[in-house]
Structure 1
């Protein structure tokens, strides 16, 4: 049974672990009805998406997906978003994009991760940093939600993210993509940047600003 009148966010989820419902609950506590987002390693406009439910509810944002075939799906299904076909890395330049034997959601710029999955081919692609993407966002302000799932480069990319001004309110990042648990290092990095762990959704960690804890949990 779905669609009960008292269900805040409906009875459906697109995310792998229900992350979208958890995120909507956090933003309701923060008083943000339509949070903007930056979905890095977006993969698919609906399948296993942390932002598809937000889009359906009127939010808009940026999807970054370097796989051209997957990027084309965003252009068709989510035309009101800004959809970018580029890689995200700790540097600006070009890197091999490894197509692996696993599904397209596991394609990666990280050679160590690719080696564990079996490389089918590699294609050189342009890469930019998170800061570059945000600089092109209106007024250079971070969107409300940052979702990062880039198969092995998550830590290095987040280390380089400049959260000194108007950081996101919520950050989702994959802590274990099958190559090992990075949760302790992620928690340390995010703590330095002014974030605390709110909860886990499957293998994903949800971080919120320390400054927002009173709004989320109450005084």
Structure 2
């Protein structure tokens, strides 16, 4: 697999995870399955649409069906687990993984599109936060990027690590994106261990 293909797979995975997290949260809160599916599609497409729009690229999420397919499949998966007794934990990790992947992929894409350091970090953080923000607003929840102190911060630190490894570590782009995602997951694990579900 080429590096570009791996980044593309990570991008689809981010859409899948964010969509699954959205439908899982919606179903666990009592939403109808059709509404949860629509929300999942919206959330799953939000990150790639924002990233490509800010970069001035053709909107691949609209021109290709695989992004919509990833969001639909993720939405169905989230609907299935949304009624589990511990669905909150599934939601937490789906959301965290989507957050990390979106941050890492967008940061790497920004550098390869000619953005400077600041632009890459802003792009990575904005892209990572978009899906969760759309989900929380649509469901009437307090936005996690405001409420949770290790949400936006985790995305920012993950983007920084992805950028640092890409610029100075001489690592392949997909490994840099994965490193940023890994840091986000570690920080979110620490947040879960420290705060418990009542605080997340």
Question: What TM-score does the superposition give when structure 2 sets the normalisation length?
Answer: 0.31
Normalized per residue, which structure has more helix?
Answer: 2
**Larger RCO: Structure 1 or Structure 2 (Cα < 8 Å, ≥ 6 residues apart)?**
2
TM-score (norm 1): 0.29
Considering fraction of residues, name the structure with more strand: 1
Which is higher, the Rg of structure 1 or of structure 2?
1
